[in-house]
Structure 1
Amino acid sequence: MRFEAGTEIAADAQRVWAVLIDVQRWPEWTASVSQVERGEPGPLTVGATARLTQPKLRPAVWRVTELTEGRDFTWVSEAPGVRTRAEHRLLPLPDGRTRVELAIAQSGPLAGPVGWLYGGLLRRYLRLEADGLKRRSELG
């Protein structure tokens, strides 16, 4: 199962990246995340972890598997029967704006039932994250 959301932001990619990569502050700008606890100090890098608490979902530990500075990062969370991959991608636009693309992909034997049960919530959370990132990044 795969869910996606995106938006265009009236801010350059550097500004949007600074907001996006500061995962501990996500609860300030998206209602889809109520608490973030980093597993390690310092910047988010490949291998880094964060425990996210989200309304209506069990807390989950996410591990960064891919990161291209200023452009994208992907992290993965494992639960019995389902592996969730969350992608965060920034695309600079010619006029100084930025397109953000967010996606959640689930795999494993329980991905179908989990997607069926939680698909609406996951779509809503992706939309909240995209819209919140837009608002926070455009504040300057």
Structure 2
Amino acid sequence: MHQHHEVRIAACPDYVWAVLTDVARWPQWASALREVVPYDGGPLVVGGRVRVRARNLPVRDWCVREVRAHRGFTWEQVGVGSAATLVVGIRPAPPGGTTLELTARRSGWVASVVDRMTGATATAHLEELADGLRRRCEAGQCAPVSPPAQSARDVV
């Protein structure tokens, strides 16, 4: 199985990276996800582990295999008879935006059975993750900054 999804985000790459690497908050903007828990509670680090609970899919534990600062990361999951990889990449998209690429691969003798059972759901979740990140980043990047509220003492 090989899935690839790409989306353009109208926000700067540094902002997209900050939102993307705060994995514990993914369920706030990606409705397909119920919970994302980094085992160490911190940022993504090579060798770190992440538990993902998604709607209509089994709980999956992923291992962070690669982190490319401000460019992307790779997660991997290995089980009996199958292996799965999620590659997340971002790159600048002039003028002033970001391109997000999500690539999911599954291999092994169990993969064909798993794909028949969960392939459509996994594809929908991948697309929803990309679109949710786009919406979240564009809303956060474009939100006007409100001036601090004045108290009665500040008004002369």
TM-score (norm 1): 0.95
Q: If you compute each CA radius of gyration, which structure gives the higher value, 1 or 2?
A: 2
What residue in structure 1 maps to residue 40 of structure 2? 40
Which structure has the higher relative contact order (CA within 8 Å, separation 6+)?
1
Is the 2:57–2:118 Cα contact (8 Å) retained in structure 1?
A: no
Q: Is the partner of 2:117 in helix, strand or coil?
A: helix
Q: CA deviation at 1:116?
A: 2.3
State the Cα deviation string for residues 80-120 of structure 1 (Å, max 9, x = none). Answer: 22111011110111211101010110011111121222211
Q: CA deviation at 1:77?
A: 1.5
Which residue identity does 1:122 align to in structure 2?
A
Which residue identity does 2:82 align to in structure 1?
V
Q: What aligned pairs does 1:13-92 form with structure 2 within 5 A after superposition?
A: 13-92=13-92
Q: CA deviation at 1:11?
A: 0.3
Q: CA deviation at 1:64?
A: 0.4
Which residue identity does 2:26 align to in structure 1?
W
Tell me how many residue pairs correspond in the alignment.
140
Alignment partners' CA distance in 1, 2:3 and 2:65? 19
Is the 1:3–1:119 Cα contact (8 Å) retained in structure 2?
A: no
Structure 1's unaligned 5+ residue stretches are: none
Large movers: runs of 4+ above 4 Å: none
What residue in structure 2 maps to residue 104 of structure 1? 104
Is the 1:3–1:122 Cα contact (8 Å) retained in structure 2?
A: no
Structure 2's unaligned 5+ residue stretches are: 142-156
Which residue identity does 2:64 align to in structure 1?
V
Is the 1:91–1:99 Cα contact (8 Å) retained in structure 2?
A: yes
**Pairwise CA RMSD of aligned residues?**
1.0
What residue in structure 2 maps to residue 128 of structure 1? 128
State the Cα deviation string for residues 11-66 of structure 1 (Å, max 9, x = none). Answer: 01101111111100000000121011211132211111111111111111111001
Is the 2:86–2:105 Cα contact (8 Å) retained in structure 1?
A: yes
1:11 aligns with 2:35: no
Which residue identity does 1:33 align to in structure 2?
L
Which residue identity does 2:11 align to in structure 1?
A
Q: CA deviation at 1:78?
A: 2.2
Alignment partners' CA distance in 2, 1:50 and 1:44? 9
